[in-house]
Amino acid sequence: MDWKKTTRKILFFVAMLLVLGMFTFLHGFFDSASAPFEYADDAGTADGEQTAPSGTPLTAEPPAVPDEALTSAGNEEYVIIRMSPADVFRGNLLLINHDHRFEIPAAQDFISISEEKTMSYSATGDDLLLAESAIESLNNMMDDFLEVTGRDNVTIISAYRGYERQQEILSEYIKLMGSAGALRLAAPPGYSEHHAGLAVDLGYYSNGVLRTFQGTGVYAWFKQNSHNHGFILRFPGEKSEITKTAYEPWHFRYVGQPHAFFINQNDWCLEEYIDVIMRHTRDEPFTAIFNECIYEVYFTEDAEIFLPFDCEFDISGNNINGFIVTVKQ
């Protein structure tokens, strides 16, 4: 017997078995890795773990990206948004008035109006600042006014103000009309929504002279159309008893959409709107239609907010005690 030839045949046979075994293992591994994720019945896996659409198991402390994770209730998935106490004082729906003081945050998302504005209007100073969330809507509103009227003489005379500047304005009014009258036109430091960078005061130029904006004639366009751009006339004359502020035809406040539309549609001031929303819950939201879409708006004091998975939403503090949640269905 040729032992060398026999030994070579045996070694060759063993090597083939090893190669075949390795091929089978790798084939099964890659088939498993490339298989699409499938939802388990009742939103659970075989061992009872809840899973996100990506197949990542949820834990008691879901990873925050950013501060959100997917959870399940029955067959529905929800995104959890975790809010901090400071978030009560952030957002477009802050209610800042004589009853609710606003603390100016250390970190501010303000931008220069003069650097970001379009050519359809002017600003009376290079130091005028506005919340970043409002500048695009302000530009669009001013562009539309120019297109409709042919006038580019409207100017922004005031936007963000710090405490010191607010005190200066109040003191000027007190000299002119006394404390009681002054407080009808200027809020004390801390109680002006200019502190949030969400309000603008308008003026206009006529024959090169800066005029007080009365909102009459062609300029009535702003009262009639500002809501189409997320702004509201903040202090209407007929709402003075509620706002505790005299009529200011020049003062427009950004609240964003769909809220500006709902406020205008129901002839509310901001105090009335916030009061309505704060009486609605997640289970019984304020529901209305804007641009052929259904919106649900409600109030919660909870720091953990559950939102339907894969929906558009916005969360704003109310500057009082909680959060206003807006969900676009």
Task: Compute the distance between CA of residue 327 and CA of residue 322 in angstroms, rounded to an integer.
Answer: 16
Q: What are the DSSP E strand ranges found in 225-271?
A: 231-233, 251-254
Cβ-count burial of 277 within 10 angstroms (0-12 exposed, 13-18 middle, 19+ buried)?
buried
Q: Which helix (H) or strand (E) holds 142?
A: helix 132-149
Q: Give every CB contact of residue 184 below 8 A, 6+ residues apart in sequence.
A: 244, 245, 246
**Structure token digits, residue 155:** 């100017």
Residues 189 and 134: beta-carbon distance below 8 Å: no
Which candidate in 248, 272, 284, 301 is catalytic? 248
Residue type, 86: A
Q: Which residue has 């834990």 as its token pair?
A: 59
**248 is annotated as an active-site residue:** yes
Task: Compute the distance between CA of residue 174 and CA of residue 172 in angstroms, rounded to an integer.
Answer: 5
Angle at alpha carbon of residue 303, lines to 301 and 305, rounded to 5°: 90
Give how far Cα 152 sits from Cα of 141, 145, 157, 270, 309, Å: 12, 8, 15, 29, 44
Q: State whether residue 105 is helix, strand or coil.
A: coil
Count CB atoms within 10 A of the CB of residue 35.
8
Q: Which residues are catalytic?
A: 248
